[in-house]
Structure 1
Amino acid sequence: MFFHLNDTHNAIQTENSFPIFLNGELNNRLLDSKPEKITILTDGVPSFETKPADLSFLEKISKTKEITLIIDESHSLGITGKNGCGIYSSISFPLKRKIMVSSLGKAFGLTGGVIASDSEFINQIKELETFTSAAGMNPSFVQTLYDAKEIYKKQHQKLLDNLNYIDSILIKNGNVKFDKNYPLIYLLSNELVEKLKQEKIIIASFRYTKEAEPLNRIVVTANHLKEDLDKLVSVLNKK
């Protein structure tokens, strides 16, 4: 039986999955005494958010449930946690198993992905035909990931420095959603998007679903220069 946080990305949702929360309360099916195996699906950092998912609800689930947690860290691996290791290693709630999946095309800039879990599960994955017949990640990319481990640490610190600098000069207001620990700035005003265009600053703007409002977000990188950030924030600070 599958359960998902209400704002879980469509990429890891599955049919017949139940929401973890209903009307702000934990789903009663997670609280009853019926013994069963359940799988919880969540993002490391949910869409439209700047903080890791709050998983404290796991402690409230009935002890009769055998819990597998699947966490998509595509938007947190390489960014959050010590040296950008994500939140997977810090999850210590009582679980039968935890599984991390992630793209490496975000923070690491590489074509490929990763699955992490206990050795028993990984060995089972290796026996699946969908795994053995799939095209693997380019070996040179894997080698690059290993060889660049010290560079990634330095870049991660540069990113944190940039975020702290933005936090020190950005005037907080209701149209800008920003947290100094996460390299996305969400714009809740389409007017701001137009102002940025006028200054020749193009940001990510798209719809996750046809019915949704455009998702407007600015991605801050380790390689942005101080003058880049000054120009960006000067536009965001204009009234």
Structure 2
Amino acid sequence: METPLLTSQLPGRTLVTETATYLYCSGTSYLGMARNEEFQAILQACFATYGTNYSSSRLSNVQLKIFSETEAYLSTWTGAEAALVVSSGLIAGQLIVKTFADTGTFIYGPRTHPALWRTPIDCYQGDYTNWAKEVPEKVRTATSKEVVILTNSLDALWVQTYSFDWITKLPGDKKITIIIDDSHGFGLTGKNGAGVYTQLPELPAHVQVAVISSFGKALGIPGGVILGNVSLIENLKKSAFFGGGSPPVPAYLAAFLQAENIYQQAREKLQENITQFTNNVQQPALFQSFTRYPVFYTRQNSLYAWLLEQQILISHFAYPTPADPPITRIILNSLHTKADIEVLTHQVNAFCASANISY
């Protein structure tokens, strides 16, 4: 396992250490909001209005309007009937899982995020496509009348898009709840970046869907959300895990609502970077990727060391345990300039030539 690089400042388009500055092509700040100066200015003004934290419960006899305003915006943006904001994506997942804990049979997709686990045994390695083919039969043979299906919206590690056509093939004799973790798609994929909720097929009458997501990746703020129908969201509000937990920091939500144009500009810039990268890599089969997504997985783990020598840092770590082989990925963000992408593609092409890699 490589020694991690230590830094005293948050990376953006570059990572600065005590000894060097690297072009930073890692992390999950896909839209670069944590280092976006326009967004930072809005956020500072929002802190002046809302303070640094809301030290109370959403059940308090004093209610800040920003919570319901954000939920209304998220509902309109995604097309969901209702939305519920919480302090993190992990809390969003655990809140809904605990609410459904005693509800029939749970069916997990491969590599489902820990936010949706009941226990670690719920996680397993497998192929999503094969699993999706098997889901209707698993539901049919379930002995309970209610079934909960849990999965990610996509695979951000091995970089695979997921189809949800299997939803239309589910048996009609059971009440089915599908819970999807969209943390690596929300803000990026779907219509206007609204995520997987905008990409789902029409739901059969016996099926309801809840989508959970972190705000901490593409959106670049702390917090999380649950999207679903009104009945589901109202039921979650009755949970002690909701009332007993702190809500998101209001200033971040206010900044999010004021920054719609900034987010859209960042999405457009990211797409320009993706297009430039994919159009100029001479061996595109070096990477596993899908259209309009900023992550590029490669089995050529030696690419990491090559790029590091050229002052370019990409994502490279063992998974799912420290004893496993590393996963190597190039991750683009909206802060990268045209010149950055030129340097990156030049070095990727040089690596392929040096290693005599041809597909």
Q: Is this a same-fold pair by TM over 0.5? A: yes
CA-CA distance at 1:72 after TM superposition: 0.5
Of Structure 1 and Structure 2, the greater helix share is in 2
Change (3 A) 1:96 1:214: same
Q: For 2:133 and 2:299, how far apart are their aligned partners in 1? A: 27
**Cα distance between partner residues in 1 of 2:115 and 2:283:** 32
Paired-residue identity, %: 26
The aligned amino acid for 1:71 is I
Cα deviation for residue 49 of structure 1 reads 4.0
Does structure 1 residue 97 correspond to structure 2 residue 201? no
Moved more, 41-50 or 182-191: 41-50
Q: Is residue 110–residue 131 contact of structure 2 (8 Å, CA) maintained in 1?
A: no
Q: Distance in 2 between matches of 1:4 and 1:137?
A: 28
Pair 1:4 & 2:114 matched: no
The TM-score normalised by the length of structure 2 is 0.61
8 Å CA contact retained: 2:191, 2:198: no
CA contact (8 A) 1:77 1:85 kept: yes
Alignment of 1:91-170 (within 5 A): 91=200, 92-94=202-204, 95-170=206-281
Instruction: Identify which of structures 1 and 2 has the higher relative contact order when contacts are C-alpha pairs closer than 8 Å and 6+ apart.
Output: 2
Secondary structure in 1 matching 2:195: coil
The answer to whether the 8 Å contact 2:294/2:332 transfers is yes
TM-score after normalising by structure 1: 0.89
8 Å CA contact 1:166, 1:180 repeated in 2: no
Match of 1:14 in 2: 118
Aligned pairs (5 A) from 1:34-113:
36-91=145-200, 92-94=202-204, 95-113=206-224
**Displacement of 1:180:** 3.7
What do the CA deviations read for 1:161-180 (whole angstroms, capped 9, x no partner)? 11111121112354322334
CA–CA distance in structure 2, aligned partners of residues 194 and 6 of structure 1: 30
Contact 2:318–2:324 (8 Å) recurs in 1: yes
Following TM superposition, by how much is the alpha carbon of 1:3 offset from its aligned partner in structure 2, in angstroms?
1.0
| Aligned residue type for 1:193 | Y
Name which of structure 1's ranges 223-232 and 119-128 shifts more when overlaid on structure 2.
119-128
Equivalent residue number for residue 195 of structure 1: 306
Answer whether contact 1:73 1:101 (CA < 8 A) is retained. yes
Distance 1:155 1:23, change over 3 A: closer
3-state DSSP of counterpart to 1:97: strand
The superposition leaves residues 80-111 of structure 1 with CA deviations (integer Å, 9 ceiling, x where unpaired) of 11221101133123252111110111001101
Give the residue type in structure 2 aligned to 1:235.
Answer: Q
Unmatched runs of 5 consecutive residues or more in structure 2 = 1-104, 354-359
Cα RMSD (Å) of the superposition? 2.4
Query: How many residues are aligned here?
Result: 239
Query: Unaligned stretches of 5+ in structure 1?
Result: none
